[in-house]
Amino acid sequence: MTDEQREIWRPAVVVVGASRGIGRAIAKVAAREGATVVLVARSLDGLAAAANDVKTAGGQAFTLSLDLLASDASTRLQDFLTANGLACDVLVNSAGYGLRGPATTLPIADQLGMVDLNIRALTDMTLHFLPGMVARGRGGVLNLGSIAGFTPGPNMALYYASKAFVRSFSEALHQEVRSTGVTVTCVAPGPVSTEFLERSGAGRAALFKILPKLSSDYVAERSWRGFKSGRRLVVPGFSAKLVAFVASALPSAVKVPLIGRLQRRSRDLCPCGSGKPFKECCGSRQTRRGVA
Ligand SMILES: NC(=O)c1ccc[n+]([C@@H]2O[C@H](COP(=O)([O-])OP(=O)(O)OC[C@H]3O[C@@H](n4cnc5c(N)ncnc54)[C@H](OP(=O)(O)O)[C@@H]3O)[C@@H](O)[C@H]2O)c1
C-alpha cells in the first residue's frame, strides 16, 4: 500500500451495539488506546453517553443511530464511514438479544427478530467489512457469542442456537484469515450484569441465578486483550470456562433436560399450547404420572 493510499482513510474501531452493556464497555477499552471509535445502536441517549465515555477515556467518538434490522444497515454504516474518511479496522458485533420461554409460546416475530439481529445482521456486518481488513492486512472482528453457544438450551432455544451459529461462524473465519494479519475472535461470556438479563427474562431463571455474574468492564477487558493477542475464542472468567467445558463434555441426553429444567419457571405457559401454566398442566404431578 502506498503512502498516498494510506492517507485517505483513518482506522476506526466500529462497535455495533454500543449504547450500553458489553459493547459500550469494549468501546471504552479501545478508547484508552487512543482509538477512533464509531458507536452504533438505536438509542440516541445511549450513544451520547457512550461517546462521552470514549472521549473521557482518551479516544475520538463518532455516533450513528442505526437499526440493524434494516436490510441496508451495513451499506448505511459503510456510507457513514466513507463520509467521515474512516475505514472499519476493527468490527465489534455486540448487538443481540435473548428471550426466555418455550418456543411454542413466545411470539414468532420476536423469535425471528433474534435470527435477524443475532445471526443475519452480525453475518452481514462481518461479510461486509472483513474483505477490506484482509486487503489491508490488519484489524479484525470481535463477535459476541455466549457460553449458550456450547449446548442446546430448552426454554431459550433460539437464543442458544443463534449463539452456536456465532461461535461456529467466527471460529471458521478465524481459521480462514489467520495468515492474513487479520483476527476473528468469538467471545463467549457467561452471565454479565447488563440490561440483557432483565430484558430477556433469563435473569429470573434458576440457571442464571446459580451462575456468578461478571461485570461488563471485566468482560470487555478480557475480550479486547484476547482479540489483540489473536485468540480464536475467549471465555472470560473461571466459572464460564468451567461451564463451557462441562457443556462440551456432557452428552446431550444429560445436559439438555437439565438446562431445560433450570431455565423453566413454574409460571411459564405450558408448551403443549393449553394456555395454562406449566405446573397446572403437563408439569403437574398427576399428569406426569399419566393420570390426566
Ligand atoms: N449480558 C449477558 O449476560 C450476556 C452473556 C453472554 C453473551 N451476551 C451477548 O453479548 C452481547 C451484548 O449483550 P449486552 O449484555 O451488552 O446486552 P444489552 O445491554 O441489552 O445491549 C445490547 C446492545 O445491542 C443494541 N441493539 C439491540 N437491538 C438493536 C438493533 N435492532 N439495532 C441496533 N442496535 C441494537 C442495543 O442498543 P439500542 O437498544 O440502543 O439499539 C445495545 O447497545 C449480545 O450479543 C448478547 O447476546 C450477553
110 lines ligand 1 (CB under 6 A): no
User: 192 CB less than 6 Å from ligand 1?
Assistant: yes
Which triple of cell numbers denotes residue 69? 434490522
Please identify, by atom number, the ligand 1 atom nearest to the C-alpha of residue 16. 34
Asked whether 194 lines ligand 1 (CB < 6 A), one says yes
Determine the average pLDDT of the residues in 271-277: 77
Q: 222-243 pLDDT, tens per residue?
A: 999 999 999 999 999 999 999 9
At 38, is the secondary structure helix, strand, or coil?
strand
Pick the atom of ligand 1 nearest to 163's CA.
47
pLDDT at 222: 98
Place of cell 447488563: 194
Ligand 1, atom 19, lies closest to the CA of 21
**Ligand 1 atom 17 nearest Cα:** 196
Could you tell which of 42, 114, 166, 210 is best to mutate to test the pocket of ligand 1, judged by most ligand atoms within 8 Å of the CB? 42
* Cβ atoms 43, 237 nearer than 8 A: no
Q: Could you tell me which residue, 225 or 210, shows the higher pLDDT?
A: 225
Q: Quick one: CA dihedral 24, 29, 32, 33, positive or negative?
A: negative
Residue 65 has pLDDT above 90, yes or no: yes
C-alpha cell at 106: 413466545
Assess whether the C-beta atom of 43 lies below 6 angstroms from ligand 1: yes
Is-above-0.85 flag for pTM? yes
Query: Atom 27 in ligand 1: which residue has the minimum CA distance?
Result: 95
CB distance 38 to 85 below 8 Å: no
pLDDT at 181: 97
Instruction: Kindly state if the Cβ of 195 falls inside 6 Å of ligand 1.
Output: yes
Distance (Å, whole) CA 196 – CA 96: 9
Provide the pLDDT for residue 204: 86
The pLDDT tens digits for 101-155 are 999 999 999 999 999 999 999 999 999 999 999 999 999 999 999 999 999 999 9
Task: Cite the active site residues.
Answer: 159
Nearest atom in ligand 1 to 147's CA: 6
Q: Is residue 191 classed exposed, middle or buried when 0-12, 13-18 and 19+ CB atoms within 10 A define those classes? A: buried
For ligand 1, say whether the CB of 15 is within 6 Å of any of its atoms.
no
- The helix/strand/coil state of 103 is coil
For position 267, what pLDDT does the model report?
Answer: 74
In order of their start, the domains of the chain are 9-264 (3.40.50.720)
Atom of ligand 1 nearest to the CA of 47: 40
The pLDDT of residue 291 is: 45
**Mean pLDDT score, 245-269:** 91
